[in-house]
Amino acid sequence: MATAKSPAMLFYLDNARSMNGKLNENYAREIMELHTLGVDGGYTQTDVTELARVLTGWSIAMPREGGGFIFRPRMHDSGAKTVLGVRFPSGGGIGEGERMIHILAHHPATAHHIAQELCQRLVSDDPPKALVDRVAKVFLASDGDLRKTVKAVIDSPEFWDPGVYRAKVKSPFEYVVSAVRAVDAHVDDPRPIARALQQIGEPLYGAQPPTGYSDKAEAWVNTGALMSRLNFALALAGDTMPGVRTNVTALVGSVDASSCVDALAIALTGGNITEETRQTIESKGEQQVRTIAGLILGSPEFQRQ
């Protein structure tokens, strides 16, 4: 309900201008496709049109002055409507939209859609159907309590399965932020980091479609993107990014060269690098601490959540 009445959402998906005789279906479509039922949630184009009629008059008070939500009765289509089999007699008002949002929020397809999104976010890109079904049941049984729903994911055996441990690839944003934190960087000018994010493929606030950025590895893992990540890692650890100061040598203290890889691996990843990664780094010959740190930040182990 909060997002449906948010001036940002009303403006972004054009519902603020939707009125009887000049219908805009953008928000009606996205609230079902993205926010509740999901693309395979069982609604039709007729349902989209009818829901758009239900939501006419949901607008913004004084939009150029930053006004909040307002319902404009004169813009509302007060004729009879039917959405997902739910009939609304003529003469209704704002209550139609509020009732319909309540119905969408409690729909079994919504529970499945949210469970799928959470399991994909927290477990794997293609989560087991049995897990999604169990989590959806918790969502419905708890009246949409997200704490209980997330707990059902984390308490599941699938979440702790060694086969999916650290299987999720970090998005560019997650990767860049985790790298900056790992080296305890001091950021005086965030613009070079923002430019790096753009080069890696996830510019801040740059997702044009309402679906946002993907949570699946296939959207981020390709040769060019991985090279951009490595270049960023080497620049960050090498302290060559303008406006960003790092001192990775402080992470390892006075260890000898032979122990440097192990010390940095523990400092940057908790020690979670494979023997293959270790040998790859050591095969490059004797390297400076900053270069080793950059290679660890660019390693497959650091790329994963």
- Sorted by where each begins, the domain ranges of the chain are 7-105, 117-154, 172-303
The DSSP secondary structure of 214-271, one letter per residue, reads --SGGGT-SHHHHHHHHHHHHHHHTT-STTEE--THHHHTT--HHHHHHHHHHHHHSS
Helix, strand, coil proportions of the chain in percent (round to 5)?
A: 55, 5, 40
Indicate if the pLDDT at residue 253 is higher than 80.
no
pLDDT reported for residue 254: 64
pLDDT reported for residue 255: 62
Q: Sorting pLDDT into bands at 50, 70 and 90, what band is 139?
A: very high
Question: Mind listing the pLDDT tens digit for each residue in 263-284?
Answer: 898 889 887 788 898 888 888 7
pLDDT reported for residue 81: 97
Query: Both tokens of residue 19?
Result: 């009125």
Distance CA 113, CA 135 (A): 10
Q: What is the pTM of this model?
A: 0.84
| 165-188 burial: b if 16+ Cβ within 10 Å, else e | eeebbbbbeebbebbbebbebeee
Indicate if the pLDDT at residue 286 is higher than 80.
no
Name the average pLDDT for the chain.
Answer: 92
